[in-house]
């Protein structure tokens, strides 16, 4: 009887070890970090296949870089045509749904193209940044330019807003998201606004350093 009890006990211990080990392995393979991209058509893959967009390429790159370490999941909720107003209205729920370690904020271009109030845009972006930081997420702000025909004063005020926000809230900043492709016609779609599929890897390369820092 004693030998039988010992055998049963050893079996239970072994099974427990197997279960705990399996759970540990499963947990190791689960995503433990999260990136939330809140943007517009520049991040939504407008005019190209979604899998060609820089956020999709970002997921591939993160998977490659973190093969031996913590996994990182990219949640891209960018919507073509989205303004800072809509982003500010959605951010609370987005933060709850994704629990991000890094929020990449790529909004403002549509505000500028529509000639909307720059103070209002700044207020909305500040709202998104504040809520993200309160949720313990780092923020990477992607700056933009508007076409020169909007007037020098408006264009300068628009672009300066991103630097002002980065300084005020101590966020990471890429001053101009499209810096490496904007002046190269071969990388811009016929509409004159949106990057081509071939431009997406260059955009990601331009953003990568700040993103890498954000997920450390």
User: Is there a contact between 179 and 42 (Cβ–Cβ < 8 Å)?
Assistant: no
Is 41 an active-site residue? Answer: yes
Catalytic choice (34, 40, 41, 84): 41
Distance from C-alpha of 36 to C-alpha of 92, rounded to nearest angstrom: 12
CA distances to 76, 109, 193, 210 from 41, rounded to whole Å, are: 11, 9, 10, 21
Give 142's strand partners.
Answer: 174
**Which of 78, 84, 132, 194 is an active site residue?**
194
The torsion of the CA quartet 93, 97, 99, 101, rounded to 10 degrees, works out to -80
Q: Are 88 and 127 in contact (CB under 8 A)?
A: yes
Give me the active site residues, please. Answer: 41, 191, 194
């Amino acid at each position: 009887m004693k030998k039988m009890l010992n055998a049963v006990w050893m079996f239970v211990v072994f099974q427990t070890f197997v279960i705990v080990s399996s759970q540990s392995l499963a947990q190791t393979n689960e995503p433990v970090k999260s990136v939330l991209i809140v943007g517009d058509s520049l991040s939504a893959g407008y005019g190209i296949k979604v899998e060609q967009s820089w956020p999709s390429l970002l997921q591939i790159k993160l998977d490659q870089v973190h093969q031996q370490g913590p996994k990182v999941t990219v949640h891209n909720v960018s919507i073509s045509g989205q303004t800072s107003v809509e982003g500010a209205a959605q951010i609370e729920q987005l933060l709850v749904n994704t629990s991000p370690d890094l929020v990449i904020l790529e909004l403002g271009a549509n505000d500028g193209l529509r000639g909307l109030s720059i103070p209002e845009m700044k207020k909305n972006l500040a709202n998104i940044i504040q809520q993200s930081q309160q949720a313990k997420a780092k923020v990477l702000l992607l700056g933009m330019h508007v076409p020169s025909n909007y007037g020098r004063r408006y264009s300068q005020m628009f672009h300066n807003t991103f630097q002002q926000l980065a300084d005020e809230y101590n966020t990471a900043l890429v001053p101009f998201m499209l810096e490496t492709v904007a002046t190269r016609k071969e990388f811009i779609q016929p509409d004159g606004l949106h990057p081509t599929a071939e431009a997406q890897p260059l955009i990601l390369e331009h953003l990568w350093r700040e993103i890498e820092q954000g997920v450390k």
